[in-house]
Amino acid sequence: MIRLLCLFILVFLLGLGGGWFLRGWKGAQPPAIVPVAEESAGKEPPVAFRTGTAKVEEKEGEPAPDRKLSLEEAMKEGALTFEFRGNARDRLRMTAVNRTGRAVRLTIPAGQAFESANGFVVTPREQWVDYPAGETRLDDLLVIAIASSNEIEKVTFVVTPTKFPRLDELLAYLAQHPEVSQPAAQVAALVILENLPASAFAKFAAAGSDLPSQWDSNAFKVETAELIEALLVLRRMGLPDEQLAITVDQQTRIEAMIDPLARADAMVYYGIAPGKEWDFWKEQLLNGEPATRHYALYGIARYFPSVALQMLPQWAREKRTPKIFRMTAIRALPDTRRPEAVAILNELAKELGRGNELGRAAQEAAIFLEASLKQPAAEPLPVRFRLGGKQEEGVIEPPVPES
């Protein structure tokens, strides 16, 4: 009896479960297969402009903008209201309110001009921002000034239809080369519009920089690497070097070759083949501009340290060598980043005497180098240049004044 009851329950459960299974199987539908090309057709990439040229991914499931409007269209329709404030140089803060009930993608074209009492700025590249319905946002637009006379302070700007056709080729180049930095684009723009010399942009102390200048461009000073980047942009655009005042200054070349961050681009721009770098430093030292010849000792110390450890102490000791070369030889020794340079500098301090300027400089250089060797480098160390086994055989003789 018990066995019959158990059998009856088992049959009942199998029948009920089977019915559920069959109903579930018959009602199930295979997942829809959507061709990738059709699924993405007509949609913009899921990115949105935030600040500068930075882009970030939209959140998963976020709806695409309902409308796409240019800045001109948005202002004409009143779909968005704007306020612009900037420093008349590189940043323009846009406060915008989407007053519609729809999401809007706003496009600001390259070359869009904004005007204030302090001067004009333009956008170097196309930029865009997504606004959900009813949202208020602050965004920093990347801009460049069109005059070195722009007064740098925060002021209100307005959109203007003014065009600067002389920048058209630069804007086209920047559209094709997103890797060009904003500072380099700014320098290139001011060179095209005002043909300024390198001293108007260089952060390094230019020879004769204590003389009065007609250019007050301190707000547009850039690092040497960015200055060389701008020179490369201008050349690749096809502008003749001989027509540009920025190419006349020879100090830029040696400053860029000394700077580890600018050196690679400088070698490209000035046509210095890797196997010819020693020849460059030797030529600069013996026949370079009188005001900057001694700078070559820093380059030799950085990129030919073994040569420098033999050569620079000789220059520092040679009494017939002009003082500027002796002092530079001492100050350049720490750039070798070699521990043995500490002992050399201490020996020079004893020989030259700590009571005079050269001896004190040697002692200070030894202390500086010893301390810096104990600390991790704050910047990338210069990479030693290698020509092979005989790269450091020759030592340049010190220049001796004619008797």
Reported as a single tens digit per residue, the pLDDT across 10-20 is: 434 344 343 43
Dihedral, CA atoms, 202, 206, 210, 211, nearest 10 degrees?
A: -90
Residue 377's pLDDT is: 62
Q: Report which DSSP code applies to 96.
A: E
Pick the range with the lowest mean pLDDT from 163-177, 217-231, 302-316, 337-351.
217-231
Percent of the chain with pLDDT over 70: 74
Pick the range with the lowest mean pLDDT from 36-40, 65-69, 145-149.
36-40
Please, which pLDDT band fits residue 268 given cuts at 50, 70 and 90? very high
| Residue 309 burial (CB count, 10 A) | 17
**Cβ distance 114 to 86 under 8 Å?**
yes
Residue 252's pLDDT is: 95
| Residue closest to 327 by CA, chosen among 312, 347, 306, 343 | 312
Which token pair is 264? 């690679």
pTM (predicted TM-score)? 0.76
- What is the tens place of the pLDDT at every residue in 177-228? 999 999 999 999 999 999 999 999 999 887 655 445 555 568 899 999 999 9
Strands 155-160 and 113-116, sheet pairing: antiparallel
